[in-house]
Amino acid sequence: MYIIAEIGFNHEGSMDVAAKMIQSAAESGANAVKFQTYKANDILMPYNANYEAIQCGEIDINQHIELYQIANDNKIEFISTPFNPRAVELLEKIGVSAYKVASMDCTNKYLLKYIAQTGKPIYISTGMATLNEIAETLHFLNEQMSTKITIMHCLSLYPADAQSLNLNIIPFLKQIFGVPVGYSDHYPGTKACIAAALVGAAVIETHFTLNSKKTGADHYHSAEPDDLKSLILDINLFSTMCGKKEAIFKRPDRKYAKEYRRGLYAASDLKKGHIMNELDFLCCRPFSGLSPEDIKWFNGKILNQDILAYQAMEKTFI
């Protein structure tokens, strides 16, 4: 399972906080940290009530380079969501290995073209998108000769509620489009992420913060370090439990079949000449070579020798 800790703009412009978040995400076991690369007016108009909150999360190219190096030092992948072609150019300069596309740009072919031209893997959120829009986007990206594409089931609700998640969309999308499908989370805590893993998500992206009680940004529906660590441990345990379907051909408990399955034994002392019936048998462990199904073979047949109670039955006794 590939886990993305979305820092987004929860660093709120503080390089110290951003560095601590990268380190904490790495220590928690995440595979990647995800930032957002933008200028505030790439996202909304200056008169919007959220403009200043978005603006405080802007980071320039030198800060990107520094954070990229911190991620490398902590052995965690650095990816980002670009919000315009200039952001793609910036991210190519620092050498990101993959791109995340926000739900708002799922149908933005102008931006998608620039991302596709990089040849890097793309994680694309599908919040608000219809099946036709998802299909059109995948077709467009394939036309652009994009490499690995992962679509991310996502609800553009902040926070999303349990009734709206409909996580069975994940295997449905995988069946329809034949590409890996992940889950980008806006549900508080980590329970929705675990549920998404249970239904087959290939990638989990969850918002990440050092303090979910902090006001502003996306803190209120983000996972804290201990939450992220527990989530990854739970998902890894779940993946281990699921294993591989081929294991049915080499199951570890097969060696206990002879010990645990029922054998066929005499229920009491039986004399030579006795006509056998169902009451003459005990069916108990361990397996004796004959099974309860063999009783019907014995019924009505005559013993050719004396048998002791609890003796394993054999067909040569007839």
pLDDT of res. 295: 98
* Residue 95, CB-side half-sphere exposure with 13 Å CA sphere: 8
Q: What's the gap between Cα 177 and its chain centre?
A: 18
Q: How do the domains of the chain map onto residue ranges?
A: 2-243, 254-317
pLDDT of res. 216: 63
125's tokens: 């959120």
Per CATH, domain 254-317 is 3.40.50.2300: no
Say how far apart CA 141 and CA 112 lie, in whole Å. 7
Q: Are strands 122-125 and 99-101 parallel, antiparallel or unpaired?
A: parallel
Mean pLDDT in order along the chain per 10 residues (318 residues): 93 93 97 96 90 90 97 98 97 96 97 97 98 98 93 94 96 98 94 95 95 72 90 92 90 93 98 97 97 97 97 97
Q: pTM of the prediction?
A: 0.84
pLDDT of res. 290: 97
Q: Determine the CATH number of domain 2-243.
A: 3.20.20.70
pLDDT of res. 268: 98
Q: What's the gap between Cα 168 and its chain centre?
A: 13
Question: How many angstroms separate the Cα of 224 from the Cα of each of 1, 5, 6, 25?
Answer: 19, 10, 11, 9
Note the helical H segments in the chain: 15-28, 51-55, 61-73, 85-94, 109-116, 131-143, 162-165, 169-177, 191-198, 225-242, 257-260, 295-298
Say how far apart CA 72 and CA 2 lie, in whole Å. 17
